[in-house]
Amino acid sequence: MEFLRNTWYLAAWGHHLKPGELFPRIILNEPIVLFRDADGRAIAFEDRCPHRFAPLSRGKLREGRLMCGYHGLEFDTSGACVRNPHGSGKIPAGARVRSYPVVERHAALWIWMGDKDADPALIPDFGVLDNPDHADVLRLDYMVMDAPYELIVDNLLDCSHTCFVHDGILANEEMTAIKTTIKRKDDAITVSRFAPDAPIPSMFALAYQREGIRIDGWTDIRWDAPACMLLDTGVTEVGCPRQAGTGALSVHVLTPETHQTAHYYFSGRRWGVRPGGETHEMREKVADLRRFAFEQQDEPMIRAQHRIMQLTPSSKLKPVILETDVGVVGWRRIMEKLIVAEQSPLVES
């Protein structure tokens, strides 16, 4: 799948970008360097000096300017070269670095990679993270996954996989044979599953403070282009309303690093935690368990899947579709439409 460019991508958690430091990232196969100006505002440049193409991230910040570490050219926050320390000091006309719009919102830094005007109103609503220091917010976590971002989005929107890949942690086999539904609003979709009268998975038992009970469980996951997901999942005792149970609103955002690798940002906010379950130690335990699920269970499976796909002739890459794949089919159709419209502006959306 081609990259959608005129959209917002999560470049880093806000706390990753420290004053006085240069922060490199590869996004959509492009080298990027982020830093904060004298007022603390996040700035993003292409990580490539126009002189001899050295990475600017190997330079340093000096008096509010970024200085290339190879030959000392200095660039202001707009990307314009403002100092050439060599010879007469004349600044060549092409001595300019591309800058990218950046917005800091929802504890994250969002970067616009396209050539159209950047609209901050298009950043998905992840207000659940607006107070990241609050006691019920889980760790703002991050990892690089050795797989294309599309396969990871497929994985997240096909919640039935949790019954097998994460058996006992996030779901269990008794939750398998349930209906998957999808709702679409504009270019966003929500995929939902409801599992009545099932054993409580261990992740929720930590919050519920009760092992071995049976519960009603739900999973509602909202997808916004290109790869931004908000997962509403929880459990309640059989026959009880949701608000009587416990759950979490979890943020999952994928930003393509290359066509073969992806930055994965994840966090969440718990609610309905029983007395004794909302402690720093318990939050760390839950965060570690979530990371284990993604790092030790999801990624090996997706990486192995990708390897098989690479070895398979394209003529055979026509997957069988199951009822649980409605979200996978839905998001891919929307993305294909958006990419075609971006590459062919006269095509109606």
Q: What is the DSSP string of 29-92?
A: TEEEEEEE-TTS-EEEEES--TTT---GGGSEEETTEEEPTTT--EE-TTSBEEE--STT----
Residue 251 one-letter amino acid:
V
Look at strands 60-62 and 65-67 and give their pairing. antiparallel
Residue 160: phi, psi to the nearest 5? -65, -20
C-beta contacts of 66-74 below 8 A and 24+ residues apart: 66/22, 66/33, 66/35, 73/49
- 54, 45 contact by CB (below 8 A): no
- 110, 43 contact by CB (below 8 A): no
**Burial label, 327 (beta-carbon count in 10 A; 0-12, 13-18, 19+):** buried
- Residues of the chain where predicted confidence (pLDDT) is lower than 50: 349
Q: What pLDDT score was predicted for residue 13? A: 98
Residue 77 neighbours by CB distance under 10 Å: 17
Q: What pLDDT score was predicted for residue 346? A: 61
Q: What pLDDT score was predicted for residue 181? A: 94
Two tokens at 315? 């003529």
Spatial separation of the C-alpha atoms in residues 65 and 140, rounded to whole Å:
29
Spatial separation of the C-alpha atoms in residues 11 and 28, rounded to whole Å:
11
Sign of the dihedral defined by the CA atoms of residues 54, 59, 64, 65, in that order: negative
CATH of domain 8-122: 2.102.10.10
Spatial separation of the C-alpha atoms in residues 188 and 200, rounded to whole Å:
30
* Domain spanning 130-342, CATH architecture: Alpha-Beta Complex (3.90)
Please give the helix or strand (H or E) that residue 284 lies within, else none.
helix 280-292
| Boundaries of every domain in the chain | 8-122, 130-342
Q: What is the pLDDT of residues 239-295, one digit of tens each?
A: 999 999 988 899 999 999 999 999 999 999 988 877 666 677 877 888 888 899 889
Q: What pLDDT score was predicted for residue 170? A: 74
Question: Which percentage of the chain shows pLDDT scores above 70?
Answer: 96
What is the Cα Rg of the chain in Å?
Answer: 23
Q: Is it true that 8-122 and 130-342 share their CATH fold?
A: no
- 32, 46 contact by CB (below 8 A): yes
